[in-house]
Structure 1
Amino acid sequence: MMRSVVDLSHPITDGMVTVPGLPGPKIGQFRSHAESAPNYAPGTSFQFGHFDMISQTGTYLDSPFHRYPDGVDLSGLPLASTVDLPIELITAGGPVDASTLEGRDVEGKAVLFQTGWDRHWGTAAYAVGHPHITRDGAHYLADNGAVLVGFDASNVDDTTDPERPAHTVLLGRGVVVVEHLRGLDRLPHDLRHWRFHAAPLAVAGMGTSPVRAYAVLVSSPTSESVPSS
């Protein structure tokens, strides 16, 4: 069985900025190969890493607890809502409202929005003026059975709106959110044989976790493979 995998996540690097104003990760070593070597046989060593970072780092997933104090946290989130999901890929250049989504089959799917905003990653332009999902767009997704919503921009919400309607509606209806995706333009037009995965860490008492988001193709006689990355 042949497989192709497309990585849809940003690498996490020491000090990187994901959200301006929030601290970047500190990545280092608890114990290096050289430091661990005396504990083992000659030629044997291990590296023990250490990182300190907030949950909103890199490509990350929001569970309902991110928005609601009584919502499901990461440890209670069903894996079925984050992995092996059929994909509905939607191209959007501006606000995503219900009319943008009319007629799209989102039931039971990871609905991924390709806005192209990931081209601004790492620049000052990334955090401002980005596409977003409107309140009625969020209601459409929830009402029509979307399981997960993924966005290749810095926020599913218009960050000038303090009510954060997209997060409020989606997470309130149990639709998990993945932000800061990248490379959605590498996915093929025909996604019938592809599945999306973005499992978070199962951390109790937290609402958000970095993820390694990716899409997988299980080949079929009519499917077309792309290079793995």
Structure 2
Amino acid sequence: MSQNQGKFVWYELMTSDIAAAERFYKSVVGWTAKDAGMPDMTYTIFSMGEKMVAGLMTTPEEASGMPPAWIGYIYADDVDATARDVATKGGRVYRQPDDIPGIGRFAVVADPHGAAFCLFNSSGEGQPDGDQMAPGRIGWHELMAGDLDSAWSFYSSLFGWEKDQALDMGEMGIYQLFKIDGQTCGGMMTKPKDMPAPPYWAYYFNVEGIDAAVERVNAGGGKVVMGPMEVPGGAWIINGVDPQGAHFALVAPKR
């Protein structure tokens, strides 16, 4: 088993207007952006300093009709075998395993309740993990699950994730923290019944101060739909939608 098995290793925004999305996230999160130089498509790399963080691309034709959205890539030592396991465990394979020349192998899948993610295996060594909570990195991974218990069974059996604290959220139910390779990096809960969106993964981008980030969201044409809200541990979060309609989230150590 590799040291990356089961870890989130990449994040990607598929959207309807990559130029506008680039301007928005450069302003809000502080990323820099450059073209990846792919010969047959336009693909933009978001970075924070020397660290490549995420990718940006136009929604492909085969996914036409899908609204703009962020998706996360989870490392699998064997993409083909893991994709088969996804299907066996009740999930769905949207795109069968395929190669990205010179980069690695991937597949697009979803859990049994429809929350989408990608499987990925690199043909190289990849980047070092670095500090999960550094500005511009992804500090938290959150699943609004169709059902917490069955979702936990699916992901833990697929990737070997381990339970951390279970937080009682009262009427909202249990928020289960999880660890990947011993590091707490996310949480999941049953999606509230009044939430109109289907089950989904949310990714929290680190910023230095939440109030200043909210001002940048509003100035850039985005919309804050939840927060600012303080969470256990003293951090502050918001959930929002960007100008093209993709859901995103921010986390900061202070207001």
Pairwise same-fold verdict (TM > 0.5): no
**Alignment TM class, shorter chain as reference:** under 0.3
Query: More relative contact order in 1 or in 2 (CA 8 Å, sep 6+)?
Result: 1
Question: Which one has the bigger strand percentage?
Answer: 2
Which protein has the larger Cα radius of gyration, Structure 1 or Structure 2? 1
What TM-score, normalized by structure 2, do the two folds share?
0.25
